[in-house]
Amino acid sequence: MENNWIVAKFGGSSVRDAQAMLRCCQIIENNPKIKVVVISATQNTTNQLETVSKTAQVGDGMGLELVVNEIINKHIYIARELFTSPAVLLELEVLCGELKALGALILKDRLCSPATMDELNSLGERMSSLLFADLLRLRIPKKIVQLLDARKIIKTNSDFQKAEPQIELIAKNCESQILPTINDETLFVTQGFIGSDSEDCTTTLGREGSDYSATLIGEGVSASLVQIWTDVTGIASCDPRLVDEVKFIKTISYDEATALASLGAKVLFPSTLLPTKRKNIPVFVGSSLYPDRGGTLITQEHDCAFSLKAISLLENKDGAFVSFVGTHIDKKNDLKNILLSYLGADCFQFTKVNIHSITFKIDQSKLEKSLAIKKAHLALSKFI
């Protein structure tokens, strides 16, 4: 029999406050196929944890206290609004104590090693998942909600802050800790982003890495679908923050979505689709604010003919680059010149082409990049 299990990941904006968490809870309640829930830190908390480290390292005791209190108060406020149980409030207090202690340690040493940073960063996901699991217990009493420490599942190497997952160990852990009860009324809740190395030291997969955690677990349990719930209704023809008139994409292939992510689109963490591609598991990206508006489904399927779907903007030390992403791009006759005729050859310079993308460098002395991206989207609109 085919597995019919969904792993659902909720990003920081989706769990930013009590109302947002309630919306995620409703999505889970409405879909009994969701068996594993992966939670990010609440919005901006990971940034604040980085500020904890920075203020402490420079000896700014006041700044440190301020940001530590902000993080603690934010979570206590959510807990109050959600009627979090007294036992879980005590657990939250323990995590707040850990946060203060780590801050004090960094302040004393004026030093935060990558390992300490990962330990500190893990608090964001550990706090949000603790509160979210308790909410699920309250709202879906027929389920047995089990909060799993992701560090017991996501084993990684010791490359702190950008740790590499160990696929076979993760598969084994999923098999022993999740699969035996996945068909019962158990609902697993775990943290995105964090893992642990062979010494059980906390590691993280890199900023925005929770998507990757979800697909790694999806692979480990052979899920039928991984859902990534965020604040946009799927993958768009361009980042909606850069261009107004974007079009949302209904279906896209793993390779196209990976090209987009690695060429600068912020919608997915770049390694996200590797595990699901290995096991041919579709990935859905949708908005937890508007779950009924649909989203993007990412699958193995490719268009058989040339097509363009989206553009992305990448900035690095070599400049700003705009890429057009799609399929069979290298087969389309004269595409480079056709695109340049729309873009203006004076402001854009061709850099590379392959099967899923064609990239141009923006001459920023002639054209501001915000205008360049609008122009590129206009060029894309001739094809979509």
Whole-number Å distance between alpha carbons of 61 and 18: 30
Within 8 A by CB and 6+ apart from 318, the residues are: 361
Q: Which region among 38-46, 69-77, 133-141, 161-169 touches Mg ion (by CB under 5 A)?
A: 38-46
* Binding partner at 124 among ligand ASP, Mg ion, none, C-beta below 5 to 8 Å by kind: ligand ASP
With CB under 5 A as the rule, give the number of residues binding Mg ion: 3
Residue 281: DSSP 8-state = -
From 300, 212, 222, select the one nearest 261 (Cα to Cα). 212
Q: 341 to 380, contacts with ligand ASP by CB under 6 A?
A: none
Whole-number Å distance between alpha carbons of 12 and 231: 9
For residue 166, state whether it binds ligand ASP (rule: CB under 6 A).
no
Binds ligand ASP (CB under 6 A): choice among 41, 96, 117, 216: 41
* Binding partner at 291 among Mg ion, ligand ASP, none, C-beta below 5 to 8 Å by kind: none
Whole-number Å distance between alpha carbons of 204 and 48: 16
For residue 209, state whether it binds ligand ASP (rule: CB under 6 A).
yes
Residue with Cβ nearer ligand ASP (207 or 302)? 207
Q: Which region among 9-17, 129-137, 194-202, 313-321 touches Mg ion (by CB under 5 A)?
A: 9-17
* Binding partner at 41 among ligand ASP, Mg ion, none, C-beta below 5 to 8 Å by kind: ligand ASP
Other CB atoms within 10 A of residue 302 CB = 17
* Binding partner at 323 among Mg ion, ligand ASP, none, C-beta below 5 to 8 Å by kind: none
> Strand, coil or helix: what is 173?
helix
Vertex 318, ends 316 and 322: CA angle to 5°?
A: 65
> Strand, coil or helix: what is 294?
coil
- Residue 144 token pair: 């047995």
> Strand, coil or helix: what is 30?
helix
Whole-number Å distance between alpha carbons of 87 and 93: 10
Residue number, nearest CB to ligand ASP: 210
For residue 207, state whether it binds ligand ASP (rule: CB under 6 A).
yes
For residue 220, state whether it binds Mg ion (rule: CB under 5 A).
no
Binds Mg ion (CB under 5 A): choice among 10, 12, 122, 327: 12
Q: Which residues lie near ligand ASP (CB under 6 A)?
A: 11-12, 40-41, 46, 124, 192-193, 207-210
